[in-house]
Amino acid sequence: MTRSLHVSRALYSDAQRYLAGGVSSDARRVAGVPLYVDRAEGARLWDVDGNSYLDYVLGQGPALLGHCPPAVVEAITAQAARGMVYSAQHAAEVRVAERICAMVPSAERVRFNTVGSEAVHAALRLARGYTGRSRILKFEGHYHGWLDPVLYSVHPAVDAAGPADSPIAVPGTAGQQPGHADDLIICPWNDLDALTRLMDRHAGQIAAVITEPVLCNTGAIRPDPGYLEAMRRLCDEHGILLIFDEIITGFRLAPGGAQEYLGVMPDLSVFGKAMAGGMQVSALAGRAAVMDHISTGKIAHAGTFNSQPVGIAAAEATLRVLDERREEVYGTLYARGSALMEGLRAAADKAGVPMLVDGPGPVFQTYFTGAPAVRDYRGFAATDRAMMAGLHAALLDRGVNIVPRGLWFLSTAHTEADIAATVDAFADALGAL
C-alpha cells in the first residue's frame, strides 16, 4: 500500500529551508517524509493529506485517555479564558499536588516543572545538595532527558561502550562537556552483581542512583524479580538516594506509577507525559525529609512556567479521571494491551517471523529476535533494529502509527475493533516485509 503524501512532501520541503534538519526534535527524524498531523481525536490521527492512522505513539505516551479527551479539553479551555501565565501561585496547583501525594506511594512533597528533562535536572541537583556528594549512577540504555549531565550511554555503539559488565560513559552527542562523564557511573541493567560491585567501589561518592523502574526508552524491559528491591536495600546501606524516572511509567502502569505496580519505594520520582494528558507539565516528588531541602532555599529550583495554570488545569482533569475511575481506566488499558500483544504474537508465529512481544501491557515492545527475552541494552542492541524500522514504515502505509523503535502505547480510547484492525494490518505488514 502507498499513502498519498503530496501535501506532506511539500511541507517537508519548506521545513528543510527553515527548520534545522527539517524537524523540531531529533526523535522525529525518519527515513523519507515525517508524519505531518492535521488533527487527532481518540485513538486516531489524521495527517495533512487526509490519511487516517490508529495511533500507538500517543505523543510518546502522554495521551493515556486518548487524544482530546473531553474533560481535559474543557478544563484547558476554561482556564485559558482565565489566564495562561501568572508567575504567581494559584489554587489548582495545590489541589494537583495534594492528589499526587495521595496517588503516588512515595510522594510527600511536590515541585512542578514543564518538561521531563527539567524535572530530572532538579532531582539530581537536589540529590547532590542533600547528600553532599557529586556522582550519579545511571544504567546503560536508560534515558533521562537530553541535557548534558545525563545524556550518556543511552543507545551507544556496542563496540565503543566497554565491557558488558562494566560499561563506559559514551556521550550522546557532540558538544557535551567532557567533564560531565567524570560524575557518572554507568552500570548494566538487571545485573545485581555489577551494581553491588560498583556501589562498593565508589562508596561515599554516589549521591543518587537514577533508573527507569521499567526500561521503556530501550524496549519495554521489566526488572528481574527482586532486582529493584535489592537496589533499594543497597542505596539504604550506602546512604544513596534512589530516584525513579517515571516520565513514561508514571500514571501509565498504575495510578501510583511503576512504584505502585512493582511495590518498591524510591526517595525521589519524576513524572511527566501522562499526568496532564499531553500538556507540558512535569513534576518532582518525594520524601518530605529530602524535598524540604528545596524549601530552605539552599537548593535552587525555579522556572517562569512552573505550575503554568493551563497545564495544571489539564493535570487536574487528567488525574481526577485516573484516580476516581481507576478500575475502569486500568482495566481497559491492561485488557486492550494484552489482547493486542497476543494478536501480534499470533500473527508473527503464523508468518514464521521470529519476534518477541513483551512488556506490561499499557506499554510494550516488539523486537525482531529469536531470543526468549531481552533483559538489558545489550540484548536490545542485538535485535534486528533495521527490520523494525521497515516494519514501522510498512505499518504507517497501512494506517498504524507506532514508535519507530518498536514501542507501543495503549490508551483507553482504543477499542476492541481497533485492536482487531491493528492485528490485521500488522499481519499484512509482516507479509510485505
Q: Check if 273 is active-site.
A: yes
Residue 224: Cβ-neighbour burial (10 angstroms; 0-12, 13-18, 19+) = middle
- Residue found by looking up cell 567533564 in the block: 179
CA distances from 393 to 43, 159, 190, 386, 405 (A): 19, 28, 32, 11, 11
- Residue found by looking up cell 498519498 in the block: 4
How would you classify residue 36: left for phi > 0, otherwise alpha for psi between -120 and 50, otherwise beta?
A: beta
Q: Which residues are paired to 367 by β-bridges?
A: 356
Catalytic member of 143, 227, 330, 367: 143
Short-list 243, 259, 233, CA closest to 126: 243
Helices within 306-413 (DSSP H only): 309-324, 326-351, 377-381, 385-397
- Residue 145 corresponds to which cell in the numbers above? 532527558
Catalytic member of 183, 267, 273, 418: 273
What's the CA angle centered on 61, arms 225 and 313, to 5 degrees?
Answer: 115
Strand duo 363-368 + 407-409: pairing: antiparallel
Q: Check if 143 is active-site.
A: yes
Q: How far apart are CA 100 and CA 4, in angstroms?
A: 44
Q: What is the dihedral of CA 75, 61, 142, 308, to 10 degrees?
A: -20
339, 419 contact by CB (below 8 A): yes
Catalytic member of 55, 245, 358, 376: 245
Q: Which sequence positions are flagged as catalytic?
A: 143, 245, 273
